[in-house]
A = this chain, B = another copy of it.
């Protein structure tokens, strides 16, 4: 039951992502999302209390996938960084289909925002720790770990702005290509 619920929520999330991309987050309404998901409005409200909750689910889900990748990464800094960057791109594009909804912390109501910002910051610190670790160990050239981390985050987050599900490259190819390029700049 719980699992079925979760699968349905994920379907709704994908539908919402398409609506967000078409209309923008601000203009998207629960009615359009219900229609896109093939549900009645009443049925949609059974799964989500409103657009804010869909947005929060969206952001929590993508961040959870990224944090899981940090926790699972093993080996040297190069291997760990590649794994996290690849997971980041996948978590952005697999479910979200190129919407920036999962990045738009500002779109959340204030009471949800502070917590998300804190979790995002923790994820950024974890990524920076991998970079700094690689610099200390001599795997990467010395440099400004914070600035480089933000450059990497920008590069992977930006995929949401240009990715098209019907484009020429698979998510896997994009993830691989970006991880290659971004890690190479640290050599």
Find chain B residues with CB under 8 A from A184 CB: 184-185, 187
Contact present for A154 and B158 (CB under 8 Å) = yes
Residues on A lying within 8 angstroms of B by beta carbon are 24, 26, 106, 143-144, 147-148, 150-159, 161-162, 169, 174, 177-178, 180-182, 184-187
Find chain B residues with CB under 8 A from A174 CB: 147
List the number of copies, as a whole number: 2
CA distance A24 to B107 in the complex (A): 9
Find chain B residues with CB under 8 A from A154 CB: 154-159, 161
Minimal beta-carbon separation of A184 from chain B (angstroms): 5
Find chain B residues with CB under 8 A from A177 CB: 143-144, 147-148
Contact present for B150 and A158 (CB under 8 Å) = yes
> 16 extra interchain contacts, Cβ-Cβ under 8 A, other than A147-B177, A185-B185?
A144-B177, A147-B174, A148-B177, A148-B181, A150-B155, A150-B158, A151-B155, A151-B182, A153-B158, A154-B154, A154-B157, A154-B161, A155-B158, A158-B158, A182-B185, A184-B187
